[in-house]
Structure 1
């Protein structure tokens, strides 16, 4: 892991250390290698779709939208990130020896990973989405099911061995000699010999009913088949091919599982009942009742004595298999639990669901051990920096995450029972307000409550519960004393922030769509569903002006920074005189409706974003169009715009990308690739842009160019690293990033600086620093099972960055590291640049090292 010095506050939001983690001990190079260019950090782990323990229990793999996170199963430190899938990872499987991990993504590809080096071995392309992924018990064959076809792959070579058409499900026998598959058209079970060079047919099993699931008993003597809709499980003798038992359930069968000793079969019915059956006799041992939602997943512990079951309501239950009694009821999930996995030693149960973190439970006590990966489970719809710039809030489907801006780590996860669409910080940055707002005719997706959270502790301060329909918009007054909430119940309510008490209720003739306070806090504007805008006196609650003219509901509003002008959107954009309530300008533009408006901080420019990837910039004084910012129509809907604090740059977020525009000229400055923007926000100092993503993560972009940057020059043809430096006054912040540096060689055998800093960036006094890095091989891949190493470097007053020759470099080979340092310059110093050794030529030893 890296040793890091925290930036001074003035520069804190300009460089975030490229951290994407919430736990110590992270192999930083592996976790940041897939970040797009100029991204400082990835906040969040992305959505989670698959969880697997390695067979030896040493690693925990978590797959989702960001790739595959590999954790040390004992310390829960993230040790690697395996990127590569362009779409979320949906299926994973470890080979029996644990040396290969197979992953399948929504893109239809399968990737085989070398777990010794955390590198990609093979990419297997498929025409269909992968529904199932299974290794044969001997680890030589990988079977994948997708599009009614079974594919059998050679794990060593990555080549396709066999294809079975019109097959919907499959299972390997424990000895790896037999494959059972289900024909989609006939519902006949086919048994195949997979030991020969050509797949050969052995036998069929003809069921009187259709079949959707097949499963071998651990000893391979029995095959279980089931179909959800006929309430029946059948057990077949593999020696004779004859039916042994027909097991009737009281409801549709959704899942089956054999105990590890093969003596017990668990059957899950859609009627919330779980049956435990004796495999030898077919008799019922126990009925497990108590779930309040349909059981969705079951798993036996490795010793077979415990059965874990999860339901659609989020409840997890641990049952004693021998007695059928309930051991523990594990509460914490609030929605569908789709993954249950026991650790190989049986002491830990991992659960993952639609909402909230991945949870690790103590099987003996039933207590929660860890909540891993505080995360968003859907796209990030709202992003807001706190006014002091120290905290970033991101809102998704049913959660708000508060991020420490300096370290990039989550401070608090604020879980909602319903969809969140509105968040706002108080002016003093101490309170975050969140409101559930998602349209539903039956109100299933909103609880009509506004919550006020303590930013420091994450605790709930007040729940404001007077609205009787969904909350549509929220906002704090500039002095932070008053909080306003608008609702589909046609009211605006003003609350006392300190006490949570209701102060006033302002009635609308139609539902409240938007609201916003004037900069002086004296006026509140509220937009209605019928297109009318109302201006209210905040102190008295009296109506000052009624602004009419929109032909559609009011979708966006903004006050100019001086508070004299209000912009409102209701089909077209209207600019209103706040004092008199008169209409100044109507801004017409284009065939598409406007989704959002924003004033530049200097008040001279108004930006409006259209639904079809177009943004228009208007002169506020004259109402004339300055620029039309066109994007490719393929990028889709505009989700938001944001001005930089100096009013010189506009960021626009669309489904495909984030773009930065020059406000003065209207020209495109930068396109931030791989951003898939859903929301954008500038940090208060303007040096960082946060963009939300559909995968539930947030990217922090460096939007201020470095003062200087360059390569590590000790290897001209293949630089060992990059350095970049930002300067503000006399303060310098530097990032040194080397994926492979021969530390001992340049500290001892051929001592020379890694690079030399420009004169105006050199420190006033020598800067020593101890670096923690990761041993790597010459090809930059990690050394298997290597522990982190430390070494010393110095930045001299002459600008030379050198590795120190001391005992720490004994037997030290190639090291990957990333470090951030700060120092002050002495601009009064007069120094001549120092020529780097080997800068213009390099010896054969250098080239071949």
Structure 2
């Protein structure tokens, strides 16, 4: 930047400073160009110095947006804003029904609540229908010396699929009380799990680990067979989109199948250490699946079914090799971000409500005296039915009405009408 000064220092200043006792005095020398350069810098600096942190014009007088006279009242109004009261969760069931001879088998699925508000329950060789709006019970079908192993309502709430221990699956019209057809040939062992993808495709899982898609509209109903489990398929659930199927087995495996990938599983997940029966797809996040492990596991796990990643694993605090605790069933609350689990083993056989995603316990409901194997949710999403081998079916207003807080009704024990013990 200043070659002229450098040249001057190397030549003239060196001569003048040779006899100078102060070796640094030469740096006090200057050149004409350096003096001109310094003058320009001083002028620029003085000009800019007057602009730093200065206003061109005087700033305007601040305007009082909120008058001081109203500030206190405004704050009091803000703090007195009413907050949403916590939802009251009744600790007692609103109704208790007798369910004699309910089979005590972790691998079966014997309870389902249809979209037309009719509850189906299988008791040994008979399927019963209970209409809560009329408190009326009717017998749909009985096959002597055969065991009902699964029941599942079609989305229309009129047709119901029934799996039997003899490997057959029947489709019934509940309104006409008439059998429409029997599906044969898809299985050679008992059908313990059922899942409708829509009103036409029924997925069935058997005791040998096979999962079959059946098109109930055509004669040759078997359209796909998924093979991945080596033991009983005890849980089947289609995602809300109808694109992914979750299957859980007694082999401790969880499979995610995609109906766009033919019969090859999308994910094979092995993190559970016991049978995987409890499956629940999240209603507000389509690729979120909750699963529960059986005896010796006792964990609830959350999965991203697009990637196969385990998002979280919660030890329910009930699992122990000594006590043999297990997660039997899972249900999401359709109105709040909550998950309900039912438990068995040497526990209180309780229903536990969890806040998602913190998984903080919100409530625990007790009353069953044996493991709560089955749960079903009413069409309005408010009431949960739980059934256990203690031969009771209990109705809980656990999810409640999100808009109206209902008082807890007094528990009443009533007979499950027309249910005769089958010996």
Cα distance, 1:566 vs structure 2:
0.8
Please point out which of 178, 181, 195 is paired with 1:475. Answer: 195
How has the CA–CA distance of structure 1 residues 532 and 395 changed in structure 2, closer, same or farther, with 3 Å as cutoff? same
Q: Distance in 2 between matches of 1:640 and 1:672?
A: 20
Q: SS state of the match for residue 515, structure 1?
A: strand
Cα distance, 1:401 vs structure 2:
3.2
Residue matched to 2:215: 496
Q: Distance in 2 between matches of 1:463 and 1:652?
A: 29
Q: SS state of the match for residue 551, structure 1?
A: coil
Per-residue CA deviations over 1:721-770 (Å, capped at 9, x if unaligned) read xxxxxxxxxxxxxxxxxxxxxxxxxxxxxxxxxxxxxxxxxxxxxxxxxx
Residue matched to 1:609: 342
Please point out which of 236, 239, 243 is paired with 1:522. Answer: 243
Matches within 5 A, 1:257-336: none
Per-residue CA deviations over 1:337-378 (Å, capped at 9, x if unaligned) read xxxxxxxxxxxxxxxxxxxxxxxxxxxxxxxxxxxxxxx984
State whether structure 2 residue 409 is matched by structure 1 residue 674.
no
Residue matched to 2:36: none
Q: Distance in 2 between matches of 1:495 and 1:505?
A: 9
How has the CA–CA distance of structure 1 residues 459 and 693 changed in structure 2, closer, same or farther, with 3 Å as cutoff? closer
How has the CA–CA distance of structure 1 residues 696 and 596 changed in structure 2, closer, same or farther, with 3 Å as cutoff? farther
How has the CA–CA distance of structure 1 residues 460 and 531 changed in structure 2, closer, same or farther, with 3 Å as cutoff? same
Residue matched to 1:582: 309
Matches within 5 A, 1:311-460: 378-379=101-102, 382-389=110-117, 391-402=118-129, 413-417=140-144, 418-436=146-164, 446-460=165-179
Per-residue CA deviations over 1:301-340 (Å, capped at 9, x if unaligned) read xxxxxxxxxxxxxxxxxxxxxxxxxxxxxxxxxxxxxxxx
The structure that is helix-richer by fraction is 2
Q: Is the 8 A contact 2:116 2:158 kept in 1?
A: no
Q: Distance in 1 between matches of 2:179 and 2:375?
A: 30
Using structure 2 for the length normalisation, give the TM-score: 0.61
How has the CA–CA distance of structure 1 residues 412 and 458 changed in structure 2, closer, same or farther, with 3 Å as cutoff? farther
CA RMSD of aligned residues (A): 3.6
Please point out which of 286, 292, 296 is paired with 1:569. Answer: 292
Residue matched to 1:637: 371
State whether structure 2 residue 264 is matched by structure 1 residue 542.
yes
Using structure 1 for the length normalisation, give the TM-score: 0.32
Q: Is the 8 A contact 1:377 1:397 kept in 2?
A: no
Q: Distance in 2 between matches of 1:461 and 1:583?
A: 41
The structure with the larger Rg is: 2
Q: Is the 8 A contact 2:100 2:419 kept in 1?
A: no
How has the CA–CA distance of structure 1 residues 393 and 603 changed in structure 2, closer, same or farther, with 3 Å as cutoff? same
Per-residue CA deviations over 1:225-276 (Å, capped at 9, x if unaligned) read xxxxxxxxxxxxxxxxxxxxxxxxxxxxxxxxxxxxxxxxxxxxxxxxxxxx
How has the CA–CA distance of structure 1 residues 450 and 642 changed in structure 2, closer, same or farther, with 3 Å as cutoff? closer
Residue matched to 1:594: 327
Q: Distance in 2 between matches of 1:529 and 1:476?
A: 21
Cα distance, 1:662 vs structure 2:
4.8
Q: SS state of the match for residue 627, structure 1?
A: strand
How has the CA–CA distance of structure 1 residues 603 and 534 changed in structure 2, closer, same or farther, with 3 Å as cutoff? farther
Cα distance, 1:607 vs structure 2:
0.9
The structure that is strand-richer by fraction is 1
Cα distance, 1:480 vs structure 2:
1.4
Q: Is the 8 A contact 2:168 2:191 kept in 1?
A: yes
Cα distance, 1:638 vs structure 2:
2.3
Cα distance, 1:544 vs structure 2:
1.3
Residue matched to 1:800: none
Unaligned 5+ runs, structure 1: 1-36, 47-375, 437-445, 677-690, 698-849
How has the CA–CA distance of structure 1 residues 671 and 644 changed in structure 2, closer, same or farther, with 3 Å as cutoff? farther
Q: Distance in 1 between matches of 2:312 and 2:411?
A: 34
Q: SS state of the match for residue 601, structure 1?
A: coil
Q: Distance in 2 between matches of 1:460 and 1:412?
A: 13
Unaligned 5+ runs, structure 2: 1-92, 104-108, 319-324
Q: Is the 8 A contact 1:657 1:672 kept in 2?
A: no
How has the CA–CA distance of structure 1 residues 584 and 525 changed in structure 2, closer, same or farther, with 3 Å as cutoff? same
Q: Distance in 2 between matches of 1:394 and 1:575?
A: 29
Matches within 5 A, 1:6-85: none
Q: Is the 8 A contact 1:476 1:517 kept in 2?
A: yes
How has the CA–CA distance of structure 1 residues 569 and 692 changed in structure 2, closer, same or farther, with 3 Å as cutoff? farther
Cα distance, 1:602 vs structure 2:
3.1
Q: SS state of the match for residue 468, structure 1?
A: coil
Please point out which of 627, 632, 636 is paired with 2:362. Answer: 627
Q: Distance in 2 between matches of 1:473 and 1:561?
A: 21
Q: Distance in 1 between matches of 2:419 and 2:154?
A: 27
Cα distance, 1:692 vs structure 2:
9.3
Q: Is the 8 A contact 1:658 1:671 kept in 2?
A: no
Q: Distance in 1 between matches of 2:378 and 2:140?
A: 28
Q: Is the 8 A contact 2:112 2:376 kept in 1?
A: no
Cα distance, 1:399 vs structure 2:
1.6
Per-residue CA deviations over 1:629-655 (Å, capped at 9, x if unaligned) read 1536x8333244455666566555553
Residue matched to 1:508: 228
Residue matched to 2:5: none
